[in-house]
Structure 1
Amino acid sequence: MAFNVTTKGLTHIALLFLSASFIAVFFLSTTFEYTVILRDDHVYLYVALMCTTGLFFLFLAYQLCFYPHYRRARTTPTQTSTLSLRTIFIIGLVARILFVPSNAILEDDFYRYFFDGSVVTHGENPYSTSPKQVLGNDNIDSVKSEDQVEPLSDIAKAPLIHRVAYPDIQSIYPPVAQAFFALSTIISPYSVETWRLLLVFMEVLTFYLCLKLLRLYKRPNVLVILYWLNPLVITEGINAAHMDILLPPFLLGTLLSLHHRRFGLSALLLAGAVGIKLWPILLVPVVVARLLQTAKSTKEISSLVTFIAIFGAVTGMLVLPQLLSVSYYSGLHQYSQYWQVNSLLFTYLNELLVYAYELTPIEWILAPEELSRLIVATAVLVFAFSQAFMQYNSHVIPKHDSPNDVFHADRELVNQWLAIAFLVFILSPTGYPWYTIWFIPLLSLGITRANWAMLLLTISLPLYDLRYPEASSVYFDAIVVPFSFAPVLALLVWQYLFRRSQIATNK
């Protein structure tokens, strides 16, 4: 199937430059060997190359998705060149396979995945087993002797176990993610190529589901490139091998199941998403509100009962082992209490509270950072339930016998999920670039004039890696982080206000 777009050759030029950029990043990755001392000039070159690749990607997205002639071309083909869906798929797949044998650039999280997978396959609990405990190091302060486990000889002898970051901390990753780690370990222990191939498989599944949903939502197939050819997704997902790639198929599968009224399957898939990253539990109120809305109009509550029962039971079984293992050195406790990096709004909130504490003579119950995290968590919860309230009171009721109503309700659900996922990312104390993988698939499904600015993060978030060179790390929080987020947020606010003014004018 060809996309009917008037491009005048610009599409192919942008695609050529984008492909060349992927190849350049691959060759640059050969200089990022784990055992070699990091060179600042290589980091600067990598950041510049990724920002430039993001520009090529946005230009291509503009030519294919936002070009002014696009709507007219859909009904009156006048294109001078075409770009097939097959071509887009092959380019994205080749780019991913290209990075399978590459050196990971500035990232080492996958060593933790390998360790966790080894612990699980040995029948141990990854939430109570740290690398230092496995190595049997009695001399560290962070592990008490009575908490140590019997050294697991196979794991302790693994040559890469010493590369696991924060070795005194137990795993943070939920059980479904642990299952994928274990699967990779069973196939080939401590093999980054095996892990990457598993991620590529999940990426292909995401492409398929995204394309299927675009067709159901009556949106152009070409929008799939916003995820499939996104350089941030490809490099952070495959080269850096982050496990966040596992999440999109579960989220998109949930949306597809809801559309086809397979409520048990949708509950199972959404519980699986929570079992990969805990935050998708915030999407549940919107789904429940939609099912309540349907039950209100049809007097049928079986779908609601089925969803709540299955989701509650499966989620409880998945997350309970991790919650019961929470201790001071558990990853969940450490991350939720102390992690803070590359965050704009949270940092400003925390600094504001520190200043307020200094001005007030009273004794505060919580420390500034603790109160900041509480405020952010409350804000996200309130927003999620406000979206659920809007869903419940929506005038669009998804009646099964009215395909048009189902179509509009589906798109409304996607937009609400996108808003929640983006808010979680932008308010989080940790604004890692690979967290964009959470919401970019949803953006492909629900992109509008009011939210397309989210794509600009593809250009700005590679600046995160400037935290590694010592020279730029001095200015990282003061200059780099604001430059990474502030322009995007400002444009999103402007788009929102402009849209509101247009709605008020039309009334």
Structure 2
Amino acid sequence: MQLWKLYKVPLLLTIVSLILYWFFAYDLIRTEYSKLITLYSLLWLLFVLILKYSKHNIQLLAGVALLFRVIFILAIPNLSQDFYRFIWDGRMILQGFNPYLYTPESFITAQEFPIAQAQDLYKGMGQLNGSHFSNYPPINQLCFVIASLFSNSSILNSVVVLRILIIAADFGTFFFGKRLLQEFNIPVKHIFWYVLNPFIIIELTGNLHFEGVMIFFLVWSLFLLHSGKWKWAAVVFALSISVKLIPLLFLPLLFKYFKKPFAKGIDLKKLISFYAIVGTTTILLFAPFFSSEFINNYTQTVALWFNNFEFNASIYYIIRELGYLFRGYNEIAIIGKILSVIVFLIVIGLAIFNKRKTTKALIINMLLGLTCYLLLSTTIHPWYIATLLILSVFTNYKYPLVWSFIVILSYLAYINLNKADKSENLWIIAIEYVVVYGVLIWELFIKKRVKQE
């Protein structure tokens, strides 16, 4: 009763949120757009209110964040099909197959079923996913194997194991993120913009996207780097790359981070050693799968994201329309390559012209570099915003937080699935990016000027 008297409002908000999360997990179909938007918006409202009334009670907020995740424990993901491929890859490895050398489609077409529930898994992942080689790095594959070790014949049980791994990673991020915030003299409560965010709970715990595991290793690596333990930081950074490749984008930004003690200039020996440890560790992790065929399959599969796939893009869609206007067809293969080069040049520019050599300055450059990458990409799935969101926690920028709310509109792209025209609704995407660009421009170019005036 004492607890209820002290925390009546946040506890009531938590109970209502738990009910809404239950409906989201067990009573929502992806194409129920009104229900999807309504539930998500209400959860966001409650999330903001919970933070308002409990912002100084770290233990209570951490407990609430755990409860919200536990609600999903027995739920089959309803907004993504990717987990079927995760289970497929894990079971294939246990059967002695290299998942980078075979497509699920090749077995199903030949009427061969090398793993339990092969047909169900292929049907679940869909033809598009099943027709490509795996592009998930080795630590990601290890998570899939762990799920298969604990459950090699039940899809639901495999889902439960995968979900436990992601929840554990989220609280690892909470632990190291909290310590990093303390090092920066930033209020610890800021970590809950990530840990308690409905976007993170739904996309990572709910839909089983392993950005959460990659983010855990990334934040851990940043903490080690800030603590001066750069060799271990390099090893952990390689683990992050070996979950998702996106941290590769951040490597050039470390160019000026390693400064000589008691002198000006860059400590090239330490910098090169850091890169060498990251490279060697990553190669060793990929080594069990290595072959010339693996290299060919993997590079071609990764290239698809730049040269073939398109979803929820912004700048690319504008350029694509210009291509249609002047060329008469989709120039994605050319546009994708050009945009990739532009992103690379921007990241190099951020690395070269960075004057401050602090961990916080490094994180800000990571945030800006990743922002440019996402805004120039041909494919932006909602869960890609997760990395942007965690980086923003350590800065004063809030546009990733706004994006984590408005990105739910991208799911309305599926509104045309049952129609003759299955293309995305560009008006909906336009609304999403008008909001995102509006907040971004305000924070980067207008806010400081207004304050100065």
TM-score range, shorter chain: 0.7 to 0.9
Task: Indicate the residue corresponding to 1:30 in structure 2.
Answer: 26
**Deviation at 1:55?**
3.6
Amino acid paired to 1:350: R
Amino acid paired to 1:54: W
Q: Report SS of the residue matched to 1:297.
A: coil
Task: Indicate the residue corresponding to 1:84 in structure 2.
Answer: 57
Which of 175, 179, 182 is 2:142 aligned to? Answer: 179
Q: How many residues align?
A: 437
- Return the alpha-carbon distance in structure 1 between the equivalents of residues 218 and 276 of structure 2: 19
Structure number, greater radius of gyration: 1
Are 2:395 and 1:425 equivalent residues in the alignment? no
Task: Indicate the residue corresponding to 1:444 in structure 2.
Answer: 393
**Deviation at 1:268?**
1.2
Distance change in 2, residues 1:263/1:382 (3 Å):
same
Which of 24, 43, 50 is 2:33 aligned to? Answer: 43
Query: Which stretch shifts more, 454-463 or 11-20?
Result: 11-20
Q: Report SS of the residue matched to 2:80.
A: coil
Task: Indicate the residue corresponding to 2:384 in structure 1.
Answer: 435
Kept in 1, the 8 Å contact 2:134–2:298? The answer is no
- Return the alpha-carbon distance in structure 2 between the equivalents of residues 347 and 293 of structure 1: 45
Asked which structure has the greater RCO (Cα within 8 Å, sep 6+), the reply is 1
Kept in 2, the 8 Å contact 1:237–1:245? The answer is yes
Map of 1:33-182 to 2, 5 A cutoff?
40=31, 42-58=32-48, 63=52, 83-135=56-108, 137-138=109-110, 151=112, 153-155=114-116, 159-165=120-126, 166-182=129-145
Distance change in 2, residues 1:12/1:431 (3 Å):
farther
- Return the alpha-carbon distance in structure 2 between the equivalents of residues 98 and 385 of structure 1: 43
Map of 1:254-293 to 2, 5 A cutoff?
254-291=221-258
TM-score by structure 2 length? 0.87
Distance change in 2, residues 1:23/1:345 (3 Å):
farther
Kept in 2, the 8 Å contact 1:244–1:435? The answer is yes
Map of 1:267-416 to 2, 5 A cutoff?
267-291=234-258, 297=264, 301-318=268-285, 321=290, 324-327=294-297, 331-357=301-327, 368-391=331-354, 394=355, 396-397=356-357, 409-416=358-365
Identity of aligned pairs, percent?
A: 21
- Return the alpha-carbon distance in structure 1 between the equivalents of residues 286 and 317 of structure 2: 29
Task: Indicate the residue corresponding to 1:456 in structure 2.
Answer: 402
TM-score by structure 1 length? 0.78
Distance change in 2, residues 1:328/1:181 (3 Å):
closer
Alignment deviations for residues 381-417 of structure 1 (CA, whole Å, 9 cap, x no partner): 11111111123xx1x45xxxxxxxxxxx121111111
Kept in 2, the 8 Å contact 1:134–1:155? The answer is no
Give 5+ residue unaligned stretches, structure 1: 1-8, 33-37, 65-80, 140-150, 359-365, 398-408
Map of 1:238-253 to 2, 5 A cutoff?
238-253=205-220
- Return the alpha-carbon distance in structure 1 between the equivalents of residues 10 and 400 of structure 2: 20
Task: Indicate the residue corresponding to 2:436 in structure 1.
Answer: 488
Alignment deviations for residues 15-51 of structure 1 (CA, whole Å, 9 cap, x no partner): 744652342132243234xxxxx684x3321222113
**Deviation at 1:85?**
0.5
Distance change in 2, residues 1:289/1:315 (3 Å):
farther
